[in-house]
Structure 1
Amino acid sequence: MGDAGLLLVALVMAVGVAGTLLPVLPGALLVLAAGLAWAWLTGGAAWWVLLGMVVVLSGGQVAKYLLPGRRMQELGIPNRTLFVGAALAVAGFFAVPVVGLPLGFVAGVYLAESARLRGGGAEAWRSTVHALKAAGLSMAIEVAAALLAVGGWAVAALVLRG
C-alpha cells in the first residue's frame, strides 16, 4: 500500500475516533472498516494486526456498557431512566442540532427520575449527575479503545512498511 493509501486509512480512522466523541458517527466501526481495508490491501501480518484491533474494539464496546451500567444499578437508577434520556436526546438532536443531544439527555433523565422519585428535585438532580458521569465514562472507554486500536495500527503500519 502506498503513501496515499496509508493516508486515506489514517484519515478514516481519525474520523472514526472523532465518531466516538460524536454519537452521530459509528466511531469504532469506521476504525475497524479502515483497518480491514488496510489488512486486505496489505495482507500477511496485517491480518494479525486487524485481529488485535477487533479484540481491543470489541472489548471497549463491552466495557462501555458493563462498567457504567453496573455503577448505575449500584446507585439504584433503573435502565428505564436511561432509555427516556436517550429518547429525549434523539428528539433534542433533531429539534436543536448538535446541542440538543446532550440537553435532551439531561432533560430526559431528570424528568424520568423526577417522575420515579415523585417530584424529588434534589434527588432527581443527583441521579441526573450520576447518569451524566456514567455517560462520560462510557464515552471515555470507547475513545480509549479506539485510540489504542489506531495506535497499534500506526505502529504496525510503520513496521510492515519496512
Structure 2
Amino acid sequence: MAPIGELLVGAVILVGLVGAVVQLYPGALLVLGAVGVWGVVTGGVVGWSVLVIAALAVLGTGVAKYLLAGRYLTRAGVPGRTLLVGGVLGVVGFFVVPVVGLPLGFVLGVFLAELGRRRNQGEAWRATVVAMKATGLTILIELAGALVATGAWGIGLLLT
C-alpha cells in the first residue's frame, strides 16, 4: 500500500479508537474496517494474517463485552428493560443537552426505571451504579479489541 494510503488507514484507526471510548459510533468496527482495507490491499501472508488477527480480536471482544456485562448485570438483579429505558433517555438526552446529554440521560433513565421498579432511592441508585460499571466494562473490552487490532496492524506495517 502506498504511504498516503497507510496514513489514511492510520487516521481511520485513530478515529475508531476514539469511537471505542466515546461510544457515539462503532469504533472497534471502524478499526476493523480500516485494518481490513489495509490487509486486502497489502495482501500476502502478512496482510491476511493481520486481518484475521484483527477480526478475531474485534469480533471476540464484541461477543465478550455482551456476555460479561450481561452476567454482571444479572448478578446484580438489573433487568434488560432498565437498560432499555436508560438507552432511550440517553438518546433523548443526546439531542436535548449537547455533548453530555447521552450519559446524563442514560443515568437518569436507569435510575428512574429502577426507582419505579424497586420503590427505594438507595436501591435504585445502587442499581444505577452497577449499570454504569457494566457500561464502563463494555467500553474497556471494546477498546482492548480495537487496540489488539491496531497493534496487529502496526506489526504488519513493520513487516511490509
Counterpart mapping for 1:11-160 below 5 A: 11-45=11-45, 46-118=47-119, 120-159=120-159
Residues 26-75 of structure 1 deviation map (CA, whole Å, 9 limit, x = unaligned) = 21121111112111211112012101111100011001111011011011
TM-score, with structure 1 as normaliser: 0.95
The runs of at least 4 consecutive aligned structure 1 residues that moved more than 2 Å come to: none
State the distance in 1 between where 2:77 and 2:26 align: 30
1:2 Cα deviation after fit? 2.0
Count of residues in Structure 1 that have an aligned counterpart in Structure 2: 159
Q: Secondary structure at the match of 2:44?
A: coil
TM-score, with structure 2 as normaliser: 0.96
State the distance in 2 between where 1:59 and 1:40 align: 21
What letter is aligned with 1:107? L
1:105 Cα deviation after fit? 0.5
State the distance in 2 between where 1:36 and 1:148 align: 14
Identity of aligned residues (%): 52
Q: Which runs of 5+ in 2 are unaligned?
A: none
What letter is aligned with 1:77? V
What letter is aligned with 1:65? Y
Q: Secondary structure at the match of 1:25?
A: coil
Q: Which moved more, 1:38-47 or 1:102-111?
A: 38-47
Give the aligned CA root-mean-square deviation in angstroms: 0.9
Q: Which runs of 5+ in 1 are unaligned?
A: none
Q: Secondary structure at the match of 2:23?
A: coil
State the distance in 2 between where 1:123 and 1:19 align: 32
1:24 Cα deviation after fit? 1.7
